[in-house]
């Protein structure tokens, strides 16, 4: 194993006033999470007490292309998603009924901690061979685990330096935010996934985001409700997965225990 991934950077182009407004709406949506907001950068810190990596950042950039970078501790860009998965023009996802402004205004109590961010990528954009090579690359530089039930949904968990060298064995606190990659068929465009804890019950989220504005995925209905949100960034749709309020504070999912123990570490 080589140098660790220090941070995952969602680089959002500052190409007009509307894109800057969208970034400000993101700041508002994230304000109750464990984040630092420094100018045009939102830094999502690990919830672990001990220093752990990777961090996740959302930041405005002067580039013309949306990209997501995996940056090592020595500053090297290990891998970058750019024009290979993001379209050059604005793509309106057929599932989206809201923009970021509308979405942010519909949540009067705000949202809580970010459980994970991620990318949903079409199989048309990354071949199986490219995907497998990417898994090996990311796995060699992070605590990266296959999804226990076999889907192409691997997760990267924040981990200490010792846990990176060995493995994660302690699950006494929340281990957030995670990062997920999804490889699937028939996606209209690449989707940026943001999974968040909320104060809302399942009934309240259904009332706030009724069909078809909000949807539930088969088999995941009891965990969260999903809302697709359009943005002004070229080729970018957000999907917010809003988790129902939970009575148990720490459990197998938010501690990373299920992924680390039931999934296979990708090395």
Q: Is residue 158 part of a domain?
A: yes
Q: What is the mean pLDDT of residues 60-78?
A: 93
Euclidean distance between CA atoms 13 and 101, whole angstroms:
18
Q: Does residue 113 lie in a domain region?
A: yes
User: DSSP state, 39?
Assistant: T
Judge contact between 148 and 155, C-beta under 8 A. no
Average pLDDT, the chain: 91
For residue 89, what pLDDT is reported? 47
High-pLDDT (> 70) share of the chain, %: 94
pLDDT of residue 179: 98
- Residue 48 CA, chain-centre distance (Å), reads 18
Residue 186 has pLDDT above 90, yes or no: no
* Per-residue model confidence as pLDDT tens digits over 84-131: 888 754 445 456 689 999 998 888 776 889 999 999 998 889 999 999
Q: Would you state the pLDDT for residue 95? A: 62
- Domain around 113: 5-262
SS3 label, residue 171: coil
Average pLDDT over residues 141-164: 97
Report the C-alpha gap between 240 and 244 in whole angstroms. 13
Q: Is the dihedral of CA 216, 219, 224, 228 positive or negative?
A: negative
Q: Is residue 10 over pLDDT 90? A: yes
Query: 226 in a domain, yes or no?
Result: yes
Residue 91: what pLDDT?
47
Residue 103 pLDDT: 93
* Number of compact structural domains in the chain: 1
Angle 114-13-110 from CA coordinates, rounded to 5°: 30
Residue 158 has pLDDT above 60, yes or no: yes
| Residue 125: inside a domain | yes
What is the average pLDDT across 193-204?
Answer: 94
Task: Mean pLDDT check: name the lowest of 6-20, 45-59, 167-181, 221-235.
Answer: 221-235
Gap between the Cα atoms of 109 and 128, Å rounded: 42
Half-sphere exposure of 168 (CA within 13 A, CB side): 29
Residue 267 counted as domain residue = no
């Amino acid at each position: 194993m080589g140098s660790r991934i220090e941070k995952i950077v969602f680089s959002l182009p500052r190409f007009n006033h509307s894109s800057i407004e969208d970034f400000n709406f993101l700041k508002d949506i994230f304000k109750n999470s464990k984040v630092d907001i420094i100018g045009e950068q939102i830094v999502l810190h690990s919830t672990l007490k001990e220093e752990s990596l990777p961090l996740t950042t959302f930041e405005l950039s002067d580039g013309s292309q949306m990209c997501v970078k995996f940056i090592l501790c020595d500053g090297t860009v290990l891998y970058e998603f750019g024009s290979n998965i993001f379209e050059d023009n604005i793509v309106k996802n057929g599932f989206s009924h809201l923009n970021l402004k509308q979405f942010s205004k519909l949540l009067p109590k705000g949202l809580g901690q970010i459980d994970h961010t991620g990318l949903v990528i079409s199989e048309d954009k990354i071949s199986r061979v490219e995907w497998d090579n990417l898994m090996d690359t990311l796995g060699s530089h992070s605590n990266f685990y296959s999804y226990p039930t076999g889907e192409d949904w691997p997760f990267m968990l924040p981990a200490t330096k010792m846990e990176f060298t060995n493995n994660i064995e302690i699950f006494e606190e929340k281990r957030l935010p995670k990062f997920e990659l999804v490889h699937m068929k028939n996606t209209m465009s690449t989707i940026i996934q943001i999974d968040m804890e909320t104060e809302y019950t399942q009934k309240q989220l259904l009332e706030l985001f009724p069909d078809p504005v909000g949807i539930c995925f088969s088999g995941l209905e009891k965990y969260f409700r999903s809302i697709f949100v359009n943005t002004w960034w070229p080729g970018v749709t957000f999907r917010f997965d809003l988790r129902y309020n939970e009575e148990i504070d720490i459990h197998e999912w938010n501690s990373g225990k299920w992924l680390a123990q039931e999934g296979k570490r990708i090395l």
